[in-house]
Structure 1
Amino acid sequence: MKITSAVVSVVLLVSAQNSFGQFPAEEVSRFAIKDFTFESGQAFPTAVVAYATRGRLNAAKSNAVLLPSPYAADLHGYDAFIGPGRALDPQRHFLILTGMFANGQSSSPSNTPAPHGGPDFPRVTIRDNVRAAHELVTQQLGITKMTAVVGYSMGAQQAYQWAVSYPDMVESIAVICGNAKQYPFGVIRLEGSIAALKADSAWNNGRYTQPPVKGLRAFAIHYAAWSQSPVSWPRDMLDSMSNQQVDQFLRSLEAPALGMDANNVLSQAETWKRHNIGDSPGYNGDVEAALRAIKARVLLMPCRSDLYFPVADAEYEATFLQNGELAVIESSAGHAAGGGADSQAIRFIDGKLKGMLQ
């Protein structure tokens, strides 16, 4: 069967982002927050933030860089960008990797007991995630100033929110294939993936007794199609395959989702869908006002072929920033380019991050 690099990259990316719990157990720490109240008003007895660190915090506590997890990802979401000699070098920076609520490691529908588990898990916002991570960083790690927040996808949304919610704490943010607000096109796309999963009768309004496999397969195919650009799939890619091989290829795209918890991925999709930094206190839903108020340096890195977060949205947001740089990732890998699926994109992102972190 003829498998192109584009196919391999999307399968690897989806697999990596959905490898819940695969980070070495001894390296994952958990920070418990008692009596955490979500923005929805729902009180939670104990909210847990899973995190890991790389490198050492210097004596001045001035070398911290936060890496909030992307959608449906564990603490491995930035592996492609971390290492000696890279911008995110643990020998220079104290890297803090945090897991979003509903990622399967932090508090999630799948690991929370009744009466708050499963479909009864609180409605979560990006601000809820940022506020919980702020408590981790300040109370557990004793850090009051961060060099940067670097985020990809939903991690980029968190980076934006950090700059709005804690303007005096963050010097710079990197927004890689993300946005300040989920615009109508993205809301509709997300609703399509949500509807695909919920169409499985086994989902049972989130009270399933067995995984809704058909729904997860449909969700995964939707995700695979959107995560890369049309040009990343060569026109003749399927020509040399038999019908059986084509079917095997399609099933390979679905496979990573079969180990996911449906309520987890739906919870994060709803968080993504409702994202707007303009909903922060004091802005009355006005994303432009919130963007204007950001004091941190902002490095915007959309991908030219990203179907999730179009370049035009980043260009729009850049016009309101006090100190923003727009650096477009020229890649045919679509949204996946920002997550490490394209070696040239990795080098480009690394170079821009080095400039920001100097």
Structure 2
Amino acid sequence: METQAAAAGDFRLYRAGDIALQSGRTFKDMFIAYKTYGSLNADKSNVILYPTSFSAQHYDIEFMVREGGALDPSKYFIIIPNLFGNGLSSSPSNTSWPNVGTRYPNVSYFDAVHVQKKMLLELWGVERVQLVYGWSMGGMQAYHWGALFPDAVERIAVVCGTAKCSPHNRVFIEGVKHSLMADAAYQDGVFTHYPARGVRAMGRVYAGWALSQTVYRDEMWRSPAYGSLEDYLVLYWETTFARRDPSDLLAQMWTWQKGDISDNTTYGGNLSQALSSIRAKTLLMPGAQDLYFRVEDNRREMEHLKNAALKPIPSVWGHRAGNPAGLTEERDFIEENVKELLLA
């Protein structure tokens, strides 16, 4: 079932109904907020799925959709499904009692991609996807598509993402998560009021990980908007996460930390088997100086992939290199390689 989102007007809601989650919980009345670009062709062979990243909504990533670019709406039917927990799709902030607070049924990537697949079939009759493209948590979803639906996806482009959240990555998220939870507003697993101090602390912790040391050493963050490092931390990083409900942020961090394409009954935790089962043409594009999705993680995954290319993004912008808003060279590099993948 599909409904129009009255408030925003530029996206629609797919009502998936009651979904049995991987955890054994049932998510009542689950829904995906999505936006489409371009037109579906007659044989339904031009679909690109572009899932969102941590805390992002489709507004934040749709700049990559443009004529002449890799995600060209004049050629492809591009669908951005908002990931659960981002405040538009089913999230703690829009889920009703009794599934609130500590009773919220956390959603895995496994759950997310299965509902996405259900949506494609029910709304458009699409059984096979030309490409799943994603950055960060979006890239992890692309990896899950490749492993869980090997016959349903032609290509995956994983930008600054991995098949499994690494131990070091989990530790990074622990620091971010606990800076938010340390606020006095967080009591017994729920926020009793808005955690302003925790959100500010979270933004500052995140700032040290999302960009490389080079960016800070050479003051590459400077712009007319940011006259000092303090300006940058306050006006960019604190503001970035202040846009979102804190419970939503924690829910997506749960999804992120649990990310593992082999954590299911199909693969039983055997990551190498899950990787070797991917038949999609695979493009791995880690950031050369990403501090938490490391090039080495992708290099080790490559040992088990059958049809893959590893092309690190030559950039000092760390994790941000994979989301190249305002980064011309990084965007050109990503789009050139994705275009090549689409022709393969």
User: What's the TM-score once normalised by structure 1's chain length?
Assistant: 0.89
> Quick check: 1:35–1:45 contact (8 Å CA) kept in 2?
yes
> Cα–Cα, structure 1 residues 24 and 320, in superposed 2: closer, same or farther, change >3 Å?
farther
The aligned residue for residue 328 of structure 1 is: 312
> Cα–Cα, structure 1 residues 203 and 94, in superposed 2: closer, same or farther, change >3 Å?
same
Cα deviation code 1:212-233 (max 9, x no counterpart): 1111111111112111111011
> Cα–Cα, structure 1 residues 88 and 24, in superposed 2: closer, same or farther, change >3 Å?
farther
Q: Which residue type is aligned with residue 316 of structure 1? A: R
Q: Which residue type is aligned with residue 350 of structure 1? A: E
Separation of aligned partners in 2, 1:250 and 1:79? 24
Separation of aligned partners in 2, 1:259 and 1:269? 16
| Residue from 201, 204, 209 that aligns with 2:192 | 209
Deviation (angstroms), 1:251 = 2.1
The yes-or-no answer on 1:357 pairing with 2:313 is no
| 3-state SS in 2 of match to 1:53 | strand
User: What's the TM-score once normalised by structure 2's chain length?
Assistant: 0.92
| 3-state SS in 2 of match to 1:263 | helix
| Residue from 41, 58, 61 that aligns with 1:78 | 61
Separation of aligned partners in 2, 1:236 and 1:343? 18
Q: How many equivalent residue pairs?
A: 333
> Cα–Cα, structure 1 residues 237 and 123, in superposed 2: closer, same or farther, change >3 Å?
closer
Separation of aligned partners in 1, 2:201 and 2:278? 39
Cα deviation code 1:15-42 (max 9, x no counterpart): xxxxxxxx98222110111121111111
Structure 1: segments with no counterpart, 5+ residues: 1-22
After superposition, residues 108-127 of structure 1 pair within 5 angstroms as 108-127=91-110
Q: Which residue type is aligned with residue 43 of structure 1? A: T
Separation of aligned partners in 2, 1:61 and 1:280? 29
> Cα–Cα, structure 1 residues 238 and 55, in superposed 2: closer, same or farther, change >3 Å?
closer
Cα deviation code 1:225-247 (max 9, x no counterpart): 111111011356899xxxx9554
Cα deviation code 1:248-284 (max 9, x no counterpart): 4432231232222111001100110111111132211
> Quick check: 2:215–2:221 contact (8 Å CA) kept in 1?
no
| Residue from 168, 172, 177 that aligns with 1:189 | 172
After superposition, residues 217-296 of structure 1 pair within 5 angstroms as 217-235=200-218, 246-252=229-235, 253-296=237-280
The aligned residue for residue 319 of structure 1 is: 303
> Quick check: 1:108–1:117 contact (8 Å CA) kept in 2?
no
The aligned residue for residue 17 of structure 1 is: none
Separation of aligned partners in 1, 2:36 and 2:221? 43
Deviation (angstroms), 1:164 = 1.1
Deviation (angstroms), 1:118 = 3.5
| Residue from 141, 163, 169 that aligns with 2:152 | 169
| 3-state SS in 1 of match to 2:186 | helix
> Quick check: 1:70–1:77 contact (8 Å CA) kept in 2?
no
> Cα–Cα, structure 1 residues 29 and 236, in superposed 2: closer, same or farther, change >3 Å?
closer
Q: Which residue type is aligned with residue 204 of structure 1? A: Q
| 3-state SS in 2 of match to 1:201 | coil
Separation of aligned partners in 1, 2:192 and 2:315? 42
| 3-state SS in 2 of match to 1:123 | coil
Separation of aligned partners in 1, 2:335 and 2:321? 12
| Residue from 90, 104, 114 that aligns with 1:107 | 90
> Quick check: 2:262–2:269 contact (8 Å CA) kept in 1?
yes
> Quick check: 2:53–2:138 contact (8 Å CA) kept in 1?
yes
Separation of aligned partners in 2, 1:154 and 1:199? 24
Identity within the alignment, %: 36
CA root-mean-square deviation: 2.0
Cα deviation code 1:263-312 (max 9, x no counterpart): 10011001101111111322111111100111111000011000120100
Separation of aligned partners in 1, 2:303 and 2:338? 21
Larger RCO: 1 or 2 (CA < 8 Å, sep 6+): 1
After superposition, residues 148-159 of structure 1 pair within 5 angstroms as 148-159=131-142
The aligned residue for residue 3 of structure 2 is: none
> Quick check: 2:286–2:294 contact (8 Å CA) kept in 1?
yes
